[in-house]
Chain A
Amino acid sequence: MALPKLAVHKFASCDGCQLSLLDLEEELLAVAGVVQIANFMEASREVLPPPYDVTLVEGSVTTPHDRRRIMQIRDETTVLITIGACATAGGIQALRNWRDVDDFNNYVYAHPEFIDALQESTPISDYVKVDFELRGCPISKYQLLEVLVAFLQGRRPNIPTYSVCVECKTKGNPCVMVSHGTPCLGPITQAGCGALCPSYDRGCYGCFGPMESANAASLAGHFEWMGLSNREIVNSLRGFNAWAEAFRKESDRREALIEIGGAR
């Protein structure tokens, strides 16, 4: 029986997520034994023709060219899985969505007329049907392996959508907010990183995006009670997943408060 064909594609991104596949090290040979790596430029210059059984897509859509390319990739694959904050939420580059992209072009490039960029950086799912979104900046290589194995074994992947708090409590981490008043996005952020930052006594930065029922308004209210300014709250919500709806809505609401209330 022929092995399932795997393709990996990149859009606007840093490559970190697709490198998680190569980062599997110990498991990599086993993966290579169960899938045929058919199109993965980071790993091999050999490209097998489509169709593909499963395609991993990294990065966000930022140009008209991206928009055309993702349609074609969708047509060439049975299963499409997006990986990382860029592909699932627009990434850190979605910060431009609050500004005028032409201003950046004029400022950065000697010949801005050569640049053909969209006003917004947006997730892949804004353009095509996505079968599974794997969160993270970067993704967890273990979660990537779980998603691939689940796909190969024809079962639902064990990728929880609850908060980072579950991982902290499971690991035995004391809460950084309660025990030393460090602001933490963990309660509204999806698990998956293994509660990396709180394990080192730091607050969560929200790398895995909003959890399943993120109550960002309540947490932001608590941040305010802890002494954070609206500007600080906006900045905390506008990171790698700034454009994800739950984070975006609350950061917009808080920004509007700054505009009404002046400097703070």
Chain B
Amino acid sequence: MRETLVIDQEGVDALIHTLTDRGYEVVGPTVRGQTILYDTITSTDDLPVGITDRQEAGTYRLETRDDGALFGYVVGPQSFRRYLTPPGNVFWKGVLTDDGFETVELPEPPRLAFFGARPCEVAAMQVQDEVYSAVGDPVYLGRRGRSFTVAVNCSEPAPTCFCDSLGTGPGVSNGYDIAMTEVVDGESHYFIAEAGTDEGSEVLALLPSRDPLDEELVHARRMVVRAAERMGRHLDTDGLKEVLYGNIENPYWDEIAKRCLSCTNCTLVCPTCFCSTVEDHLSLDGSEAERARPWDSCFTLDFSYVNGGPVRPSPGPRYRQWLTHKLASWQDQFGSIGCVGCGRCITWCPVGIDITKEAAAIRERDVRRVVVGASSAKEGTE
């Protein structure tokens, strides 16, 4: 087992500086406008110190807190996916020559340190590792392979959180270089830090630290356990795949469609969604060309467009496709559920459609049971 140490805010600062000195671009949470986004950070001053977020379906508000916590909030609308597969990433470039064309070499991908990654964020990257490894994607793997992860365990879940239902949090179990738990307890404010890799140990050894007291370890662990008991939402995953596969024709999908805007927000804030499209850009005189990969979403019409029209022309089937892929067919495709319980799709849906509620609603209106049982089929359509 690797060692566990205690660092203070100065130690966290030293961690950011050490990573920067080692050539990493440290990307972490920071306040932008009225939201916590990810951006390059250079010290703890850039973190949302003493800030918390209040989240519910379709609403997000920042508020101040008086304990000076560095990580007193959960997740904002962005995930590290933004850095691993940047939207619109140019992955090929060429110029016309006298006897054909020449490929232009692209700049090296940055070395990224993902700072303050919540357990659900770490889990989301692991889900995406499966997706992109399966196809050997050079853009994702090129960035992910040289990245460093500083995870932060959760002690205060939001009302939109349900990682506990999926086993992806509130404590991180693997997939990190360094994991921390922040403890603000009256006058004392410290971080229990643990290395998960050799490089993590090496970095941790460079920071001002001390050994933890037993009660500090117990306290930190208890905070995470208590967080699991305070999840705002719950997703019943028991037999969920079979429920969803058995309800492809459930009329309730069209009920959701009455509210769904097909705006794509749920898919673009989801940390595991990976769909992209390919665009070619050609200069006016045709001498330069580039191929780029903008983010795409299963909620757009173009996404399922084949000769003759889109396969899913109405919003009901599009929402069904998204939820069923995420929670059911993802399991057959990649061996895990595609949801990590971060709650972003709930908070950032402009009209507050809630994946946990809709999955439960389909289960309640299970058409297989309605057919077998005595209750009328009409009940399921209301």
Contact = CB atoms under 8 A, between A and B. Distances in A.
Contacts of B264: 162-163, 165-166, 169
A174 B261 contact: no
Interface in A31-72: 31, 33-34
Contact of A212 (B33, B35, B279, B301): B301
Interface string A133-162: 000000000000100010001000010111
B328 to A, nearest CB: 24
B94 interface: no
Contact of A218 (B87, B261, B269, B299): B261
A179 B61 contact: yes
A153 B282 contact: yes
Interface stretch (B237-245, B344-352, B360-368): B344-352
Contacts of A112: none
A161 B33 contact: no
Contact of B34 (A179, A187, A222): A179
Secondary structure dominating the interface of A: helix
Nearest to A152: B284
Contact of A181 (B35, B59, B82, B260): B59
A166 to B, nearest CB: 5
Nearest to A170: B87
B35 A149 contact: no
B78 interface: yes
Which among A174, A181, A221 has the greatest number of chain B C-beta atoms within 10 A? A174
Interface string B237-271: 00000000000000000000011111111001100
Contacts of A233: none
A35 B363 CA distance: 60
Secondary structure dominating the interface of B: loop
Chain A interface size, as a band, is: 35 or more
A165 B88 CA distance: 15
Contact of A169 (B60, B259, B265, B281): B265
Given A163-B263, A174-B35, A201-B33, A213 B285 contact: no
Interface string A170-211: 101011011111001011100000000000010000000001
Interface of B: 32-35, 37, 58-61, 76-78, 82, 87-88, 258-265, 268-269, 279, 281-282, 284-286, 294-295, 297, 299-302, 314-315, 347-348, 350-351
29 contacts: A31-B284, A149-B284, A153-B286, A161-B301, A162-B297, A165-B350, A166-B295, A169-B87, A169-B265, A169-B268, A169-B295, A170-B87, A170-B268, A170-B295, A172-B37, A175-B60, A175-B348, A178-B58, A178-B77, A180-B34, A181-B59, A187-B261, A187-B265, A215-B260, A218-B260, A218-B261, A221-B351, A222-B350, A222-B351
Q: Which 10 A-B pairs have the closest CB atoms?
A: A174-B35, A187-B263, A169-B268, A187-B261, A165-B263, A170-B87, A162-B300, A30-B284, A163-B263, A222-B351
Interface of A: 27, 30-31, 33-34, 145, 149, 153, 158, 160-163, 165-166, 169-170, 172, 174-175, 177-181, 184, 186-188, 201, 211-213, 215, 217-219, 221-222
